[in-house]
């Protein structure tokens, strides 16, 4: 295979790349022209900065169909939003449920709260396809269960959690549903009115196609969180306490203006393309790749086989080949960039049966072409053949 | 009439929202730093002609913009 000058990026689940062209320009324009500190007095330049933030909030609210944009709180990524959600909601004595597919961004904050003796937790097991056991969930919900944390889409195998059913169960027992949309925002439609999610944590730099350092937390009206970070907001400056109004209640310190300016353009790109179209194209590409990979001897694909039950994120292992070595060969010999190992989700790998070795994760993005997937499948077939020959 | 009238807002979000709402109307207005003689929870205020004040307030209220206070005319 001719691999010269190839650089095929299959790590969009880590961060999407490239970004739509206007994303770069918007971040630069903000830095050059609008860099007053938003919310801090009303100079012309500051108002220009504030306008960008306003627009980002409006765009995100429209994107997730949130009726009130002030319920969208800017954070620096999904991890930040998840910490804000968990630490702002939970109180001593609370019981928390989470699924085996959760990322360390949920597992570690919960572990910390549990070790401090503040909360008790219980894991909802998942199948080898990465789907949660709903019967177990129903039995595990109790009177003290304050919150159920669900990873909407597995960052390892793309399995889509049945949010509707999980939300119904959580609400029936008076628990709050926290959705980790790190992998799903910009990939699957999310409508916080059609599906009344209580807390939605998302990042800007993956499916939403914006720069790193952007993200947010949607907080359902009527649910008031304890501020997780406190400080300057440019409002109520005479008080030594965080303002109660949203979003200032949860936002303090200088926000990532250039990043959010870029994020607006990422959202615009998705709206222009149409999320439904992006999703259908992704399912088609995913089915194509799976069909190409399935016949390769020694190759195992992990997660749901049915494209409607997963996103395009795909994890695989090759019999007798260490996943780190496979990732290295893909990059060094074929110019294919993947991500190998445990992907910060150790429990998910246990459920999928790939712990502790991990997998090679391949995540196509909106700019991936069918030809790229054909090349990828060809590379894996060649490596497998080579392995079979050498034994 | 000498001087301008001012509207203040509970948060800067509403101040900027004001701009988006009023751009659709023929009212002239400007977002300015809150004058020192006014106390406000947000540092940005809307400055307008006092003859337009009532109409602007009505437009903003209809658009669900929270107004903290109105002032004027100030020199």
* Interface contact flag, B33 A42, Cβ < 8 Å: yes
In this predicted structure, the answer to whether residue A23 has a pLDDT above a threshold of 80 is yes
For B44, the closest chain A residue by CA position comes to A42
**pLDDT greater at residue A2 or residue A225:** A225
- Of B11, B15, B16, Cβ closest to residue A245: B11
Give residue for tokens 């994020």: A263
Q: Which range, of A229-233, A310-314, B25-29, averages the lowest pLDDT?
A: A229-233
Rg (Cα) of chain B, in Å, rounded?
11
* Interface contact flag, A42 B41, Cβ < 8 Å: no
Mean pLDDT score across all residues of chain A? 94
The pLDDT of residue A386: 93
Q: How many angstroms separate the most distant Cα atoms in chain B?
A: 30
Contact assessment for residue A6 and residue A335, using Cβ atoms and an 8 Å cutoff: yes
Query: How far away is chain A from the Cα of B61, in angstroms, using its nearest Cα?
Result: 15
The pLDDT of residue A323: 95
Catalytic residues of A: 344
Residue A120 touches chain B, beta carbons under 8 Å: no
Contact assessment for residue A315 and residue A301, using Cβ atoms and an 8 Å cutoff: yes
Q: How far is CA A174 from the centre of its chain?
A: 26
Domain that includes residue B15, residue range: 4-74
Q: Which CATH number does the domain housing residue B42 bear?
A: 3.30.70
A178: confidence class by pLDDT, cuts 50, 70, 90 = very high
Q: Which range, of A125-134, A210-219, A229-238, A256-265, averages the lowest pLDDT?
A: A229-238
Give the residue-averaged pLDDT of A304-317.
Answer: 92
**Domain at A21-272, CATH from 3.30.70.580, 3.40.640.10, 1.20.120.1200, 3.40.50.300:** 3.40.640.10
C-alpha span between A220 and A256 (Å, rounded): 23
Hey, what CATH topology would domain A8-19+274-390 get? 3.90.1150
Residue A257 touches chain B, beta carbons under 8 Å: no
- Of A39, A243, A247, Cβ closest to residue B43: A39
Query: Smallest Cα–Cα separation from B18: which of A54, A85, A161, A359?
Result: A54
- Of A51, A235, A243, Cβ closest to residue B16: A51
Structural domains in chain B (count): 1
Structure tokens at A214: 């952007």
CA separation (Å) from A239 to A1, A27, B13, B35? 67, 33, 19, 19
Read off the pLDDT of residues A254-280 as tens digits, 9 standing for 90 and up. Answer: 999 999 999 999 999 999 999 999 999
**pLDDT greater at residue A334 or residue A234:** A334
A151: alpha, beta or left? (left if phi > 0; alpha if psi -120 to 50): beta
The phi, psi pair for A98, rounded to 5°, reads -150, 160
* Interface contact flag, B16 A50, Cβ < 8 Å: yes
Read off the pLDDT of residues A61-113 as tens digits, 9 standing for 90 and up. Answer: 999 999 999 999 999 999 999 999 999 999 999 999 999 999 999 999 999 99
Share of chain A above pLDDT 90, in %: 87
Read off the pLDDT of residues A339-357 as tens digits, 9 standing for 90 and up. Answer: 999 999 999 999 999 999 9
Mean pLDDT score across all residues of chain B? 88
Query: Smallest Cα–Cα separation from A206: which of A188, A183, A179, A181?
Result: A183
Q: Where in chain A is the domain with CATH 3.40.640.10?
A: 21-272
Q: Where in chain A is the domain with CATH 3.90.1150.10?
A: 8-19+274-390
Residue A235 touches chain B, beta carbons under 8 Å: yes
């Amino acid at each position: 295979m001719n691999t010269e000058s190839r650089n095929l990026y299959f790590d969009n689940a880590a961060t999407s790349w490239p970004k739509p062209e206007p994303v770069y320009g918007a971040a630069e324009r903000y830095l050059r022209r609008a860099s007053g500190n938003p919310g801090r007095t009303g100079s012309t330049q500051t108002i220009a900065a504030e306008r960008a933030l306003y627009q980002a909030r409006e765009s995100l609210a429209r994107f997730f169909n949130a009726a009130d944009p002030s319920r969208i709180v800017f954070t620096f990524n999904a991890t930040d939003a998840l910490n804000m959600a968990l630490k702002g909601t939970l109180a001593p004595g609370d019981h928390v449920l989470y699924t085996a597919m959760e990322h360390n961004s949920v597992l570690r904050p919960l572990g910390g709260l549990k070790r401090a003796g503040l909360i008790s937790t219980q894991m909802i097991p998942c199948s080898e396809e990465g789907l949660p056991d709903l019967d177990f969930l129903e039995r595990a919900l109790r009177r003290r269960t304050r919150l159920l944390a669900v990873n909407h889409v597995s960052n390892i195998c793309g399995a889509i959690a049945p949010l509707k059913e999980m939300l119904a169960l959580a609400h029936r027992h008076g628990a709050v549903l926290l959705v980790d949309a790190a992998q799903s925002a910009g990939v699957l439609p999310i409508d916080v009115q059609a599906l009344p999610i209580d807390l939605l944590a998302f990042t800007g730099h993956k499916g939403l196609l914006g720069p790193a350092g952007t993200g947010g937390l949607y907080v359902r009206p009527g649910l008031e969180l304890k501020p997780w970070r406190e400080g300057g907001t440019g409002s109520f400056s005479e008080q030594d306490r965080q303002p109660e109004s949203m979003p200032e209640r949860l936002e303090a310190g200088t926000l990532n203006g250039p990043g959010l300016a870029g994020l607006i353009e990422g959202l615009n790109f998705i709206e222009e393309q149409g999320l439904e179209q992006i999703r259908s194209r992704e399912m088609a590409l995913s089915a194509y790749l799976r069909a190409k990979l399935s016949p390769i001897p020694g190759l195992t694909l992990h997660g749901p086989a049915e494209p409607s039950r997963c996103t395009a994120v795909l994890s695989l292992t090759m019999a007798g080949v260490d996943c780190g070595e496979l990732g290295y060969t893909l990059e060094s010999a074929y110019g294919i960039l993947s991500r190998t190992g445990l992907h910060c989700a150790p429990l998910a790998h246990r459920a999928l049966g790939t712990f502790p070795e991990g997998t090679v994760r391949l995540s196509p993005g909106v700019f991936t072409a069918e030809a790229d997937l054909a090349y990828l499948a060809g590379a894996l077939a060649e490596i497998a053949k080579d392995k079979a020959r050498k034994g | 009439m000498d001087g301008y009238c001012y509207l203040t807002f509970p948060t800067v979000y509403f101040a900027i929202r004001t701009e988006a709402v009023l751009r659709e109307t023929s009212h002239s207005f400007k977002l300015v730093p809150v004058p020192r003689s006014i106390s406000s929870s947000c540092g940005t205020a809307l400055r307008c002609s006092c003859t337009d004040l009532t109409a602007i307030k009505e437009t903003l209220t209809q658009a669900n913009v929270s107004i903290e206070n109105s002032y004027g005319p100030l020199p």
